[in-house]
């Protein structure tokens, strides 16, 4: 309120009554004075005059009165109060102005307008001028040669260095010649100009003479025309010069503006918001070089700053690779790959990525780091269902087919060949160990020749759907279950040994062929699968001979069985797949983890665990399952090993596996059951029958010496359909018995099996037991 404003509102508290008029006015408001003090106010001079003239006849009266507060009264009468009021009002106005200015300045539209103006009026032309200057210096000076020489020197490429040096020398010589030409040129130019002028004048005079003689014009007509043309040109330039200069300037500025606009070096401050978001996704050479420069590796920074191309020479072209980009960084001398790989997080964040979105590996080229960087947020998107689920016609063949396990980081399908591969999957709890192992086993189930022996040492039903197709399914976490799993492996060892003995290496020189590995065949693939294998290694139980089931001594039964299978099982189609938590030396002995052809790790806690899971070579080459985000990267595996289809020089790959849940697994198993020909009975250990050759031969000899050919025939009669006895010729009988230390010699020119030697071999075997 202005101090001179009147407040007529009746609800104002009447603390003070102010009245204009003479002293006697007090009487007339005496009632009010009982409630509040009455202050007379000085009237305005004109009011006063009129009052005075009116009062000539009668006594002064109250002209006007109102009830005001004490503060209002002070505002009307006290200068100090008025000043304070005024200052308070100024402060209020200043605060309002500041607030409004701040809002206006910080408003999105203002910011974007200022950026737009700054960018177009200032930044683009300036950058363009810089680019133009650089180009000019490149074409007219030796800076390009020097830059290239420095780059070659930093890269340690001496051939290139010498080449650029030679070019530089040649260019300098050319430039010197040009400069000398300039020194000589004024005199030559003057001479040339004089000659041209004289020639032109003579020409024009001759022309004028011809015209004059022909009566077509004056003698000096041509010369006058030329002089007029020159005069017109001068007049034109003088009259329209300003316009010409403006036009040319506008053209130059537009050209510079365009150069700056396309230079990609616009400071962040002036970039439009939309382009800034785009940069979150697009990785450009300048972003990479800046990210490298800011890694706080002083040698790298120095070298980059010394390169006049800003370090771009270090980078290979940035290629699109799946849901991200890939490029190589050829580091300058003095910086090693490990230094850069150690700064992965900083490097990723400098490029506007999360750490888990950037993978650094070491390609075969020396001093080079290969970078794969995902597009922002791409790795957090699900990869879609497995073809095993979506394609009901999909079948499997272990010999020729490959499992669609998931996708690599480039978005390419990862197809794993599993024939004769031991496998190991490790990971922290609840990261998808069982699911990733199961996805492979489900594919195997679709191949009717594969015999699955499964021990689930957690036993909450993750593997129960395999019941109709598995030869054996052990489910449970107790020591007894671990003992069962151990015995399952030991059975595998026996079967492996039987196969090794029975395999005819002369006939099958390229390993076990498909014909021997058909469903029910003597070498049908056997997969012994132990999930939560750490339980079996940690099993404290001992057998009657006091041999431990767990542990990793030469007497530890699980450990020894696993080792034997790792050592020899592959060749005869007996393989071991294990899933285990947190690898340590106790729950995953070194010898066992190194026996796997395919080693896969989900998120792990530490680098040392990664080394255990994947091996030093893979981790040194950039495999980093410990960098996966526990809980967020479920089902993402870092895979290495000789059974993995890795690109040349790459020690590992990251696979995002398809997740097949319990219900979908049941659907796949139902298809497997149909394929396997209604093989649905209750699973039980149906170990292939292994006959005792010595005992059988003793039986068919019936105490006498028998011709080897007849022994073969009698064995076939004894065990019809038993594959190893099929087609046993005299020579084959000799070979088979030779392996069990029964020599078969000629008797009367015929190969004969002697009863005495068979009996002795049986006795010897008993003794050895």
Residues that bind ligand ATP (CB under 6 A): 427, 429-435, 581, 634-635, 657, 659
Q: Smallest distance from the beta carbon of 162 to ligand ATP, in angstroms?
A: 55
Q: Smallest distance from the beta carbon of 585 to ligand ATP, in angstroms?
A: 20
What is the Cα–Cα distance from 294 to 475, expressed in whole angstroms? Answer: 54
Tell me which DSSP letter residue 546 carries: -
3-class secondary-structure state, position 705: coil
Tell me which DSSP letter residue 308 carries: T
Nearer to ligand ATP, 12 or 429 (CB): 429
Nearer to ligand ATP, 110 or 429 (CB): 429
- Count other Cβ atoms within 10 Å, centred on residue 137: 12
> What angle is formed at CA 697 by the lines to CA 691 and CA 701, rounded to 5 degrees?
150
Q: Which residue's C-beta sits nearest to ligand ATP? A: 635
What is the Cα–Cα distance from 16 to 72, expressed in whole angstroms? Answer: 9
Nearer to ligand ATP, 156 or 605 (CB): 605
Q: Smallest distance from the beta carbon of 537 to ligand ATP, in angstroms?
A: 15
Nearer to ligand ATP, 440 or 728 (CB): 440
Give strand pairing partners of 736. none
Q: Smallest distance from the beta carbon of 379 to ligand ATP, in angstroms?
A: 12
Can you list the alpha helix ranges (DSSP code H) found in 214-314?
A: 221-261, 273-281, 285-293, 298-306
Q: Which of 649, 643, 658 is nearest to 598 (CA)?
A: 643
Q: Smallest distance from the beta carbon of 660 to ligand ATP, in angstroms?
A: 8
Q: Which of 489, 497, 494, 613 is nearest to 558 (CA)?
A: 489
What is the Cα–Cα distance from 649 to 709, expressed in whole angstroms? Answer: 56
Q: Which of 491, 440, 496 is nearest to 463 (CA)?
A: 440
* Three state DSSP letters for 70-95: HHHHHHHHCHHHHHHHHHHHHHHHHH
Q: Smallest distance from the beta carbon of 281 to ligand ATP, in angstroms?
A: 24
Nearer to ligand ATP, 433 or 676 (CB): 433
Tell me which DSSP letter residue 336 carries: -
Q: Smallest distance from the beta carbon of 652 to ligand ATP, in angstroms?
A: 18
Nearer to ligand ATP, 260 or 579 (CB): 579
Token digits for 724? 């190893």
Token digits for 694? 């010595």
Which residues fall within 8 angstroms of residue 456, CB to CB, at 6 or more apart? 462, 463, 473, 474, 475, 476, 531, 532
Nearer to ligand ATP, 72 or 531 (CB): 531
Q: Which of 479, 477, 475 is nearest to 542 (CA)?
A: 479
Nearer to ligand ATP, 639 or 744 (CB): 639
Q: Smallest distance from the beta carbon of 671 to ligand ATP, in angstroms?
A: 21
Q: Which of 493, 484, 450, 491 is nearest to 470 (CA)?
A: 450
Nearer to ligand ATP, 382 or 505 (CB): 382
Nearer to ligand ATP, 156 or 461 (CB): 461
Nearer to ligand ATP, 16 or 434 (CB): 434
Nearer to ligand ATP, 72 or 357 (CB): 357
Nearer to ligand ATP, 379 or 496 (CB): 379
Q: Smallest distance from the beta carbon of 427 to ligand ATP, in angstroms?
A: 5
Give strand pairing partners of 360. 371
- Count other Cβ atoms within 10 Å, centred on residue 619: 24
What is the Cα–Cα distance from 656 to 600, expressed in whole angstroms? Answer: 12
What is the Cα–Cα distance from 375 to 187, expressed in whole angstroms? Answer: 65
Nearer to ligand ATP, 150 or 658 (CB): 658
Q: Smallest distance from the beta carbon of 661 to ligand ATP, in angstroms?
A: 7
What is the Cα–Cα distance from 467 to 399, expressed in whole angstroms? Answer: 24
Phi, psi of 392 (to 5 degrees): -70, -10
What is the Cα–Cα distance from 358 to 360, expressed in whole angstroms? Answer: 7
What is the Cα–Cα distance from 339 to 642, expressed in whole angstroms? Answer: 28
Extended beta strands in 532-624, E state: 574-581, 598-601
Q: Smallest distance from the beta carbon of 672 to ligand ATP, in angstroms?
A: 20
Which residues fall within 8 angstroms of residue 262, CB to CB, at 6 or more apart? none
Q: What is the largest CA-CA distance in the chain?
A: 179
Sheet order of strands, 750-753 included: 706-707, 750-753, 745-747
Q: Smallest distance from the beta carbon of 563 to ligand ATP, in angstroms?
A: 24
Q: Smallest distance from the beta carbon of 377 to ligand ATP, in angstroms?
A: 16
Q: Smallest distance from the beta carbon of 578 to ligand ATP, in angstroms?
A: 12
Q: Which of 297, 276, 317 is nearest to 119 (CA)?
A: 276
Nearer to ligand ATP, 128 or 432 (CB): 432
Q: Smallest distance from the beta carbon of 456 to ligand ATP, in angstroms?
A: 10
Q: Smallest distance from the beta carbon of 659 to ligand ATP, in angstroms?
A: 3
- The Cα-based distances of 38 to 21, 25, 32, 44, 216 in angstroms read 12, 10, 8, 19, 116
Which residues fall within 8 angstroms of residue 51, CB to CB, at 6 or more apart? 21, 22, 43, 60, 63
Nearer to ligand ATP, 362 or 534 (CB): 534
What is the Cα–Cα distance from 767 to 495, expressed in whole angstroms? Answer: 23
Nearer to ligand ATP, 657 or 757 (CB): 657
Nearer to ligand ATP, 327 or 537 (CB): 537
Q: Smallest distance from the beta carbon of 588 to ligand ATP, in angstroms?
A: 14
Q: Smallest distance from the beta carbon of 460 to ligand ATP, in angstroms?
A: 8
Please classify residue 443 by burial: count the beta carbons closer than 10 Å to its beta carbon, then call 0-12 exposed, 13-18 middle and 19+ buried.
buried
């Amino acid at each position: 309120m202005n101090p001179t404003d009147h407040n007529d509102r009746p609800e104002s508290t009447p603390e003070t009554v102010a009245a204009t008029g003479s002293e006697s006015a007090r009487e007339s408001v005496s009632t009010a004075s009982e409630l509040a003090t009455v202050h007379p106010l000085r009237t305005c001079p004109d009011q006063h005059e009129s009052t005075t003239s009116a009062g000539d006849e009668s006594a002064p009266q109250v002209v006007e009165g109102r009830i005001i507060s004490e503060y209002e009264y002070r505002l009307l009468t006290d200068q100090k109060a008025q000043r304070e009021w005024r200052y308070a009002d100024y402060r209020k106005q200043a605060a309002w102005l500041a607030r409004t200015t701040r809002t206006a300045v910080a408003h999105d539209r203002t910011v974007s307008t200022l950026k737009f103006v700054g960018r177009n009026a200032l930044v683009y032309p300036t950058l363009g001028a810089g680019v133009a200057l650089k180009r000019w210096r490149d074409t007219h000076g030796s800076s390009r040669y020097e830059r290239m020489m420095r780059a070659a020197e930093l890269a340690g490429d001496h051939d290139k260095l010498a080449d650029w040096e030679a070019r530089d020398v040649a260019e300098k010589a050319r430039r010197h010649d040009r400069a000398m030409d300039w020194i000589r040129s004024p005199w030559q130019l003057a001479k040339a100009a004089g000659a041209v002028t004289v020639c032109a004048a003579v020409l024009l005079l001759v022309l004028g003479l011809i015209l004059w003689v022909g009566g077509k014009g004056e003698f000096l007509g041509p010369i006058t025309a030329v002089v007029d043309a020159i005069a017109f040109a001068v007049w034109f330039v003088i009259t329209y010069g300003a316009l010409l200069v403006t036009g040319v300037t506008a053209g130059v500025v537009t050209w510079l503006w365009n150069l700056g606009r396309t230079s990609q070096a616009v400071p962040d401050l002036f970039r439009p918001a939309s382009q800034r978001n785009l940069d979150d996704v697009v990785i450009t050479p300048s972003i990479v070089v800046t990210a490298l420069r800011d890694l706080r590796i002083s040698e790298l920074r120095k070298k980059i700053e010394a390169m006049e191309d800003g370090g771009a020479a270090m980078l290979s072209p940035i290629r699109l690779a799946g849901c991200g980009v890939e490029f190589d960084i050829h580091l300058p001398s003095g910086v090693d790959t490990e230094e850069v790989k150690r700064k992965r997080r900083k490097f990723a964040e400098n490029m506007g990525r999360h750490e888990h979105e950037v993978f650094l590996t070491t390609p075969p080229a020396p001093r080079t780091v290969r970078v794969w960087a995902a597009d922002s947020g791409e790795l957090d998107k699900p990869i879609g269902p497995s073809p095993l689920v979506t394609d009901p016609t999909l079948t499997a063949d272990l010999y020729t087919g490959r499992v669609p396990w998931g996708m690599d980081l480039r978005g390419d399908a990862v197809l794993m060949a599993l024939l004769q591969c031991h496998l190991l999957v490790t990971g922290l709890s609840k990261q998808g160990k069982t699911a990733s192992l199961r996805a492979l086993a489900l594919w195997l189930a679709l191949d009717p020749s594969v015999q699955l022996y499964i021990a689930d040492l957690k036993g909450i039903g993750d593997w129960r759907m395999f019941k109709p197709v598995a030869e054996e399914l052990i489910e449970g976490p107790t020591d007894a279950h671990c003992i069962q799993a151990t015995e399952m492996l030991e059975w595998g060892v026996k079967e492996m040994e039987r196969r090794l003995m029975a395999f005819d290496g002369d006939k099958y020189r390229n390993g076990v062929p498909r014909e021997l590995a058909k469903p029910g065949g003597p070498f049908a693939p056997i997969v012994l699968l132990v999930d939560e294998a750490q339980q079996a290694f940690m099993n404290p139980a001992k057998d009657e001979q006091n041999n431990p089931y767990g542990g990793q001594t030469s007497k530890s039964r699980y450990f020894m069985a696993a080792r034997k299978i790792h050592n020899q099982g592959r060749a005869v189609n007996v393989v071991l797949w294990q899933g285990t938590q947190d690898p340590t030396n106790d729950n995953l002995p070194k010898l066992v983890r190194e026996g796997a052809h395919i080693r896969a790790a989900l998120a792990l806690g530490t680098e040392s665990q990664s080394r255990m899971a994947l091996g030093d070579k893979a981790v040194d080459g950039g495999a980093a399952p410990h960098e996966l985000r526990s809980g967020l990267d479920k089902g993402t595996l870092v895979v290495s090993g000789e059974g993995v289809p890795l690109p040349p020089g790459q020690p590992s790959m990251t696979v995002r596996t398809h997740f097949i849940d319990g219900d979908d697994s049941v659907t796949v198993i139902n298809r497997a059951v149909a394929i396997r020909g209604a093989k649905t009975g209750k699973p039980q250990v149906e170990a292939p029958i292994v006959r005792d050759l010595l005992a059988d031969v003793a039986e068919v000899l019936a105490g006498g010496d028998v011709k080897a050919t007849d022994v073969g025939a009698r064995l076939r009669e004894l065990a019809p359909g038993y594959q190893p006895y099929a087609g046993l010729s005299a020579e084959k009988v000799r070979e088979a018995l030779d392996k069990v230390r029964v020599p078969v010699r000629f008797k009367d020119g015929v190969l004969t099996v002697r009863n005495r030697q068979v009996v002795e071999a049986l006795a010897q075997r008993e003794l050895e037991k």
